[in-house]
Amino acid sequence: MPHPDPDHDRVVVTGLGAVTPLGLDVPTTWTALLEGQSGVGPITAFDAGPYATRIAAEVKGFDLAAAGVSPKDARRMDRFVQFGLAAALEAVRDAGLSLPLADGDRAGVYVGSGMGGLVTLSEQLEVLRTRGPERVSPFLVPMMICDMASGQISISLGARGPNLAVVSACATGAHAIGEGAALIKRGGADVMIAGGTEAVITPIALAGFAAARTLSTRNDDPARASRPFDRQRDGFVMGEGAGVVVLERASLARRRGARIYAELVGYGSSADAHHLTAPPEGGEGAVRCMHQALQEAAMPPEELDYLNAHGTGTPLNDRAETAAVRQALGRHAYRVAISSTKGMTGHLLGAAGGLEALVAVKAIVEGIVPPTMNYEHPDPDCDLDYTPNRARHLPVRTAMSNSFGFGGHNACLLFRAHGR
């Protein structure tokens, strides 16, 4: 028997929150994206002189006190937790929800991180080495573990529903949002705070990614180093930050008169089962993932208006993703507007999917597609419309966001303007 409320299993986005290399909130970040600004510069967190890569997209001027968190509490949170909490608080306030949440038992948190508290771990390893085990902080473990952003957010909001941290490398934020929506659809919650957060611009992370030959070495031209889909791309630029959304059962959002940004109508999740760090040439896992999202939405490819690509700026990823988009969308692949915002933000790793889902939603609301910056040299293997170097005004009724991670993890989110 059908449910009497047709909106019972529909999931909408009612709140947005972000901390990024371009700004400490959503409005500042969005304006910078449309203007093509770069958040990339020389690393200031430590002396990167000995490293082959000496640039990153760092968050500037961040202070958790601005979000109303006491300095004492902030000191007990790793940087990735602080970013996630600040973004979550912005998203919840943007959604018009009271704090603490009025019905906390029906509100959950799925905010993940790809690598967790690497800043704290690095600092405490140095304490262990120089001062001995007795001086290691008792807060090391609760500051470091990947689930602590979700835990701290739930404590701050009074969210007593399902709470966990998705960890799927650079697909983390997108998986968290997709799984949060699935939870609402199956009746496990009415409100989910979901997304990703990351802060690993540290010596060990930089050394590790550099050893894997995944990073750009354009140290003399930081603003132009991240070059998604450009023929001269030479790797991604590490970034940090958080992207969090409030997902809500549509019937609840409608009853309380919430502003609805968009509806999450499709979610895909797949594995490459191919290689630890490299995608298959044809992007077969990504194809399945996009197909799943389209099928759940019962939407033909021809109705897709905008695709926020994973677009890391690595030679392998951009070629494989382009091939996957061609296969998943068919002839429409050459008509859909595509962009990778990583040319401006760098790669936020576990937070990338959260931020880029937010960007896809904003494109629907504003009718503007942000550009792919630093696209100057066409690559015959990457031959789609990447919205090069300048934002484009365009009616966006539907938007997709792709996220792929080391280990062969793929996530795809599909949003539609609400009411369509």
> Is 117 a member of any domain?
yes
Q: Which of 175, 347, 409, 418 is catalytic?
A: 347
Q: How many domains does the chain have?
A: 2
| 324 and 218 housed in the same domain | no
Q: Which of 175, 291, 310, 418 is catalytic?
A: 310
| 227 and 281 housed in the same domain | no
> Is 261 a member of any domain?
no
| 23 and 103 housed in the same domain | yes
- pLDDT, residue 1, reads 45
CA-CA distance, 239 to 404, in Å (whole number)?
Answer: 16
Task: Give the domain CATH number at 293.
Answer: 3.40.47.10
CA-CA distance, 84 to 199, in Å (whole number)?
Answer: 10
Which regions of the chain are under pLDDT 50? 1-2
> Is 167 a member of any domain?
yes
What distance, in Å, lies between the first and last C-alpha atoms of the chain?
25
**Domain that residue 375 falls in:** 267-416
The conformation of residue 262, written as its DSSP 8-state character, comes to: E
| 284 and 311 housed in the same domain | yes
| 310 and 232 housed in the same domain | no
| 313 and 177 housed in the same domain | no
**310 an active-site residue?**
yes
> Is 262 a member of any domain?
no
CA-CA distance, 112 to 179, in Å (whole number)?
Answer: 11
> Is 6 a member of any domain?
no
- pLDDT, residue 278, reads 85
| 174 and 289 housed in the same domain | no
- pLDDT, residue 68, reads 87
| 26 and 156 housed in the same domain | yes
CB-CB contact of 379 with 231 (8 Å): yes
| 294 and 249 housed in the same domain | no
**146 an active-site residue?**
no
Look-up of token digits 């599909």: 414
| 251 and 161 housed in the same domain | yes
Domain boundary among 201, 230, 255: 255
- Spatial CA neighbour of 296 closest among 273, 269, 336, 321: 269
> Is 273 a member of any domain?
yes
- pLDDT, residue 5, reads 60
**3 an active-site residue?**
no
> Is 193 a member of any domain?
yes
